[in-house]
Amino acid sequence: MAMQQVLIVGGTSAIGEQVARRLAVRGAMLYLTGRDGGRLASIADDLRVRGAARVAPEGLDLTHGPALAGLVSRAAQALVGLDTVLFAAGLLPDQARVNKDANLLRETLAVNATGAMVVLNEAAAYFEQQGHGQIVAIGSVAGDRGRATNYAYGAAKGALEIFMSGLRQRLQGRGVQVLLVKPGFVDTPMTADFAKGPLWASPERVTKDIVRAMERGRSVIYTPWFWRWIMLIIRHLPERLFVRLRF
């Protein structure tokens, strides 16, 4: 895949920024969105220094539905074309807080699921008409099975996985690649309060896997690789056993 005219939604996320850095050194043109305007501007400046041919930042709140309309078109206009859309935004709140706050639940679903679907649906229409392109979304192993500690986040990522599967089938034979990335535990600011262990990976490690998968036109990847086998076991645990576990 060319990956030279790229929209990254969630350009201020750890993974989004790392992907942008890898593409910048290749001379790509990048359209970045993020909620934190100051950080977004700083990242944009850094990417220009690294070699990006063009960087266009846009402040964007994924919970504000009207702002999402036309995002893909705005990116394509700014970059004089578009070949890749990466959705890397995410919100991982404490489940105990979500249980008591309906607004936080709605925000979790809006950022991780509905906002992603609106943007990627527009990307699908754009690339389908163009006849080529690549759609990439950052899901999560949390979407494979609901756990008491993060089931709101997991439900959103599970919904995103089903949506991506539908897009992939819809766009089969249309010249559009659809990739879902399912990271395990990643050491980012979003997970700063979590105790870290041997299963945790750096954003750089995960980003390397993502870019390789994009280049190879993959459909679904777990990253790091061992999460595929961990989640295979977890998905096949009998429900009566699974509900008794605490992890």
Q: Identify the CA nearest to 15 among candidates 86, 88, 84, 87.
A: 88
Q: What is the DSSP string of 71-117?
A: HHHHHHHHHTS--EEEE-------HHHHHH-HHHHHHHHIIIIIHHH
C-beta separation of 184 from 224 below 8 A: yes
Task: Considering the candidates 31, 126, 151, 153, report the single residue annotated as catalytic.
Answer: 153
Task: Give yes or no: 153 in active site.
Answer: yes
Q: Which amino acid is at 136?
A: V
- What are 62's two structure tokens? 């994924």
Count of alpha carbons within 13 Å of 153, Cβ hemisphere only? 21
- What are 106's two structure tokens? 């709605």
C-beta separation of 87 from 9 below 8 A: yes
Residues labelled catalytic: 153
